[in-house]
Amino acid sequence: MSRLTAPALVLFLLAPAPARAIDDAQPFVQVRALAELGFLSPLSHTIQFGKQGSTFDYVDEGGQDNLFLFGRLSAELELNARHTVVLLYQPLEIRSEVRLRRDVVVDEERFASGTPLDLRYFFDFYRLSYMYDLFGASARHELSLGGSLQIRNAAISFTSADGKARRAFTNIGPVPLLKARGRYTFDCDVWLEGEVDFIYAPVKYFNGGSSDVEGALVDLSLRAGLPVFRASNVFLNLRYLAGGAEGTSPDDNTVGDGFTANWLHFLTLSVGGQLDLVDLF
């Protein structure tokens, strides 16, 4: 019996979970943990500090024409197969070192052509979301609508390699978002999922700032996955992350007029895993 038990247990764990019928009863409480890891490719990214400042192209002249480490962690609490609360942590930091090909003005600080420059673009964010699943009775399909509250945590700096010239900016603020997610599971248990958080905010009351600054954000992902053993899935995720802000918002961090224009378009590719914690017990 002992020679048969171990192989049988391994096969049971590795076998795909059987497809559940649409009318199958679902647990009242489900808890999921998700993680993904991959790379980020900046498609375009420009920034300007001060109305008389230079529009700096991070991709063309700031060393972002490369691939950077990307990761994401989230946890989901689902109640009664319809209500889902999601907590997300998204780290994002890009460091690069370049020698300037032209004079660049950043918030009234002039960095001369030929200056070796250390650049840091740090934009971590935390996001709390709620969604309601219109297909809650189905264990194999999902169409959820809801909203998110994101907390941005930004730190951006331009520093000459000798440390004699430096401009640094920090910002923390809330960003409300609309959210939607859909999922379809095939009979073979392979599933496809699309998810988007987005907002366009032309006024301060929606963009989390203290003055009228135009802002926008799109976090769109497409993923394909399959179960690999009991209570777990693996997936491949393609993500488009874009947005930014433009306007004048005086801040203690600024030396000049407080004008900022920061627009980016990023693409990520990652592999991830999902663990259904309740199903483990």
pLDDT digits (tens, 9 = 90+) for 72-82: 999 999 999 99
Let me know: does 274 contact 34? Beta carbons within 8 Å.
Answer: yes
Sign of the torsion formed by the C-alpha atoms of 225, 228, 230 and 234: negative
Beta bridge partners of 245: 215, 262
Give me the pLDDT at residue 26, please: 74
List the structure tokens of 208.
Answer: 């989390």
Asked if pLDDT for residue 236 goes beyond 80, the answer is: yes
pLDDT tier, 250 (very low <50, low <70, confident <90, very high otherwise): low
pTM of the predicted model as reported, rounded to 2 decimal places: 0.85
Q: How far apart are CA 255 and CA 276, in angstroms?
A: 50
Q: What is the pLDDT of residue 82?
A: 93
pLDDT tens-digit profile of 205-226? 554 555 667 889 999 999 999 9
CB 208 within 8 A of CB 173: yes
Question: Per residue in 186-210, pLDDT tens?
Answer: 999 999 999 999 999 875 555 455 5
Q: What whole-number distance in Å separates Cα of residue 131 and Cα of residue 83?
A: 6
Extents of the domains making up the chain: 27-280
On average, the pLDDT of the chain sits at 87
277: left (phi over 0), alpha (psi -120 to 50) or beta: alpha
CA pair distance 44, 187, nearest whole angstrom:
40
Task: Provide the b/e sequence for 186-207 (b: ≥16 CB within 10 Å).
Answer: eeebebebebbbbbebeeeeeb
208: left (phi over 0), alpha (psi -120 to 50) or beta: left
The per-residue pLDDT for range 16-51, each reduced to its tens digit, is 444 343 345 678 899 999 999 999 999 999 999 999
Q: Would you give the end-to-end CA distance of the chain in angstroms?
A: 25
Identify which of 238, 189, 204 has the alpha carbon closest to the alpha carbon of residue 18. Answer: 189
Those residues whose C-beta lies under 8 Å from the C-beta of residue 102, and which sit 6 or more positions away, are: 61, 113
**Range 27-280 classified under CATH 2.40.33.10:** no
Helices (H), the chain: 2-14, 58-61, 204-207
